[in-house]
Amino acid sequence: MQEIREVADREEVDVVLVAGDLFDTFNPPTEAVELLYKTLKGLTNDGRRPVIAIAGNHDSPDRIESPDPLARECGIIFTGYPHSIVPPFALDSGLKVLRSDEGFVELALPGHDAPLRLLLTPYANEYRLRTYLGHEDSEGEMRALLQERWQQLADRYCDDNGVNLLMAHLFMVQKGDTLPEEPEDEKPILHVGGAQAVYTENIPGQVQYAALGHLHRMQRVGSATCPVYYSGSPLSYSFSEANQKKHLLVVDATPGETVTVKEVELTQPKPLSRKRAEGVEEALQWLTENQNALVELTLVTDTFLTATDRRRLYAAHPGIVSIIPEVTLTGQRAEHHAKRIDQNQKMEELFRDYFKHEKGQAPNEEIMQLFTELLAEEEVKA
**What pLDDT is attached to residue 375?**
77
Confidence of residue 329 (pLDDT cuts 50, 70, 90): low
More confident residue, 244 or 9: 9
The whole-model pTM stands at 0.74
**What pLDDT is attached to residue 113?**
93
**What pLDDT is attached to residue 269?**
74
**What pLDDT is attached to residue 195?**
45
For 212-232, the pLDDT digits (tens) are: 998 888 889 987 779 999 998
C-beta separation of 260 from 269 below 8 A: no
**What pLDDT is attached to residue 378?**
61
Which range among 285-299, 342-356, 359-373 shows the weakest confidence by mean pLDDT? 342-356
**What pLDDT is attached to residue 152?**
96
For 120-152, the pLDDT digits (tens) are: 999 987 777 777 777 665 545 788 888 999 999
Which range among 36-50, 75-89, 188-202 shows the weakest confidence by mean pLDDT? 188-202
Q: Which domains does the chain have, with CATH numbers?
A: 2-265 (3.60.21.10), 272-381 (no CATH)
Confidence check: pLDDT of 190 > 50? no
Cα(194)–Cα(281) distance, integer angstroms:
50
